[in-house]
Amino acid sequence: MIAKNEIAGKENSGLGSGLTIETIRNAIIEDRTTATALAGDYYERIRREDPEIGAFLTLCEERALAQAGQIDQMAAEGIPLPPLAGVPIAIKDVMVTRGVRTTAGSKILETFVPPYDCTAVARLEAAGAVILGKLNCDEFAMGSSNENSAYHAVHNPRDKSRVPGGSSGGSAAAVAAEMAVATLGSDTGGSIRQPASFCGVVGLKPTYGRVSRYGLIAFASSLDHIGPFARTVKDAALVLRTIAGRDPMDSTSAEVPVPDYVAELEKPVRGLKVGVAKEYFGSGLDLEVRAAVEAAIQKLAELGCEVVPVSLPHTEYAIPTYYIVATAEASSNLARFDGVRYGFRAKATTLSEMYRQTRDGGFGMEVKRRIMLGTYALSAGYYDAYYLKAQKVRTLLTRDFDEAFKKVDVIAAPTCPTPAFKLGEKVDDPLAMYLADIYTVTANLAGIPGISVPCGENHERLPIGLQLFARHFDEGTLLRVAHAFERAALVVGR
């Protein structure tokens, strides 16, 4: 093994770029490289590339190399390797990691070292993945551009003057720049799919309840989801297969069997019905995005899918509904950050002052804004007008999908109304920022799975994403259609 490390100089693994989960596992099994050499290569690339991108907040090299060493030991002893053996993966910093600092992108948790692992992270490691480190994000996952990180902005690897999207901006950028083979993100209103679209990678938000939220620092508990980013649909399927399934530590994780998503990919798509809703192609949709998504739908038709018009009539009410439900839940969830048990504490003489000054000093403006909006919506006199009203409209938005999925198997739409915007472009206008999520929030409110797959570029070579939705727990069909499109469009590995 030492001899192999000496050959390639900078590239210790000798595997080059464009790696997928399968190529890595096979290379280790066939003794062409080691998990340790590969982890070294990824850290090397992070040190070289990340100063200009800003995707990582914390590296956990010791933990990564210990895991890689174990994989190499297994390979040397001829023990069958687990499905993600040696695969370098990084984690959005809203998922707790035992012994590895977890900040949620906030100053209030700058020194927080969790005593336990998030279930999704533990499952990845149990499947052989090598956890490289923790990824930058908007503070408490609140934002659509990653500019709300209390640490530093993330630059889109495809155009460094632009945002990577948010809130899982670091997760998307790390995959796009090949600083990790796959990453985990969280999606409360589009925070996986929107940055995947902006950075030109695959991002999957599973069904609510498909993946345990245990160890995910809560933003809006009824809308929060954990899901994968990867360069290919197949890799996203492999990661989902690993992290999905009931977890006794999360009572909302569902007792629904986990299919072999990789096997699902190979099933034919001919005859599947693809719904197209005019509400996702209205004013505000960039013309080049529209053209790319329409071409993608045409491609699905050429693959034998039947394109069927559907109606999702309440779509225009999704953003206002979302920003009431999400902020109401956030105002309650973030009450725990009071300086008593963990994180930052302001010096004060009374308990009440300590709470206030801790939260004033520890939270950024967007977090405070959402806590204020949510508290207002829940306060006496406004509860019925805002929170209860939004919960009722949530029922209507969910019924829209129920009706549509009586007629079709998947729904195709743009992921975002525009390609990645410039850093600084929307920071002073919270409402304009919220509207970046206009095509993604409804899937969170309804709990249905959604995926963003690259489907082209605009004239500035900025990536465009095709979004697909499916029925609850039908990630199999979702991934199958996404995979068929990806293969037909040949946008993979470019």
Footprint on residues 297-326 left by another protein (CB under 8 A): 314, 316-317, 319-321, 323-324
Which residue of the set 191, 212, 253, 452 is catalytic?
191
Q: Which of 436, 468, 457, 18 is nearest to 195 (CA)?
A: 436
Q: Which is nearer to another protein, 9 or 115 (CB)?
A: 115
Task: Tell the smallest beta-carbon distance from residue 191 to another protein (Å).
Answer: 17
Q: Which is nearer to another protein, 65 or 388 (CB)?
A: 388
**Using the rule CB under 8 A, which residue among 279, 389, 425, 488 binds another protein?**
389
Distance CA 286, CA 284 (A): 6
Q: Is 167 a catalytic residue?
A: yes
Which CB contacts under 8 angstroms, 24+ apart, belong to 40-47?
Answer: 40/12, 40/13, 41/11, 41/12, 41/13, 41/15, 42/88, 42/132, 42/179, 42/180, 43/132, 44/10, 44/12, 45/177, 45/178, 45/179, 46/132, 46/133, 46/179
The runs of H, that is alpha helices, within 19-82 are: 21-29, 35-53, 61-76
For residue 282, state whether it binds another protein (rule: CB under 8 A): no
For 328, the enclosing helix (H) or strand (E) is: helix 318-333
- Residue 266 has a CB neighbour count (10 Å cut-off) of 10
- Report if residue 394 touches another protein, rule: CB under 8 A: yes
352: left (phi over 0), alpha (psi -120 to 50) or beta: alpha
In the set 104, 254, 466, 491, which binds another protein (CB under 8 A)? 254
Smaller CB separation from another protein, 157 or 374: 374
Q: Which is nearer to another protein, 129 or 371 (CB)?
A: 371
> ω into residue 167 within 30 of 0, thus cis?
yes
d(CA 108, CA 111): 8
- 120-149 burial, b at 16+ Cβ within 10 Å, e below that, comes to bbbbbbebbbbbbbbbbbbbbbbbbbbbbb
Binding mask 155-194 for another protein (x = CB under 8 A): ----------------------------------------
CB of 39 to another protein, least distance (A): 28
Taking CB under 8 A as the criterion, which residues in 461-490 touch another protein?
A: 472
Contacts of 28 (CB under 8 A, 6+ apart): 34, 35, 38, 71, 72, 75, 81, 85, 86
Q: Give the binding-site size for another protein (rule: CB under 8 A).
A: 74
> Least separation, in Å, of the C-beta of 275 and another protein?
20
Backbone angles phi, psi at 474, to 5 degrees: -105, 45
Please identify which residue in 26, 222, 311, 458 interacts with another protein, judged by CB under 8 A.
Answer: 222
Instruction: For residue 392, state whether it binds another protein (rule: CB under 8 A).
Output: yes
Catalytic, out of 167, 168, 212, 452: 167
Smallest separation (angstroms) from another protein to the CB of 401? 11
Q: Select from 249, 263, 291, 301 the one that contacts another protein (CB under 8 A).
A: 249
Q: Is 191 a catalytic residue?
A: yes
Here the tokens at position 242 are 């690993």
Interaction with another protein in 112-131: which residues (CB under 8 A)? Answer: 112-116
Residues between 409 and 448 that touch another protein (CB under 8 A):
430-431, 434, 446-447
Interaction of residue 107 with another protein, rule CB under 8 A:
no
- Which of 73, 161, 298, 379 touches another protein (CB under 8 A)? 379
Q: Which of residues 326-365 bind another protein (CB under 8 A)?
A: 331, 335, 338-345, 348-357, 359-360, 363, 365
Strand residue runs (E) in 100-224: 130-135, 182-186, 202-205
Task: Please name the residues in contact with 487: beta carbons below 8 A apart, sequence gap of 6 or more.
Answer: none
We find the least distance from the C-beta atom of residue 413 to another protein, in angstroms, to be 20
Is residue 368 near another protein by the rule CB under 8 A?
A: yes
Please give the positions annotated as active site. 92, 167, 191
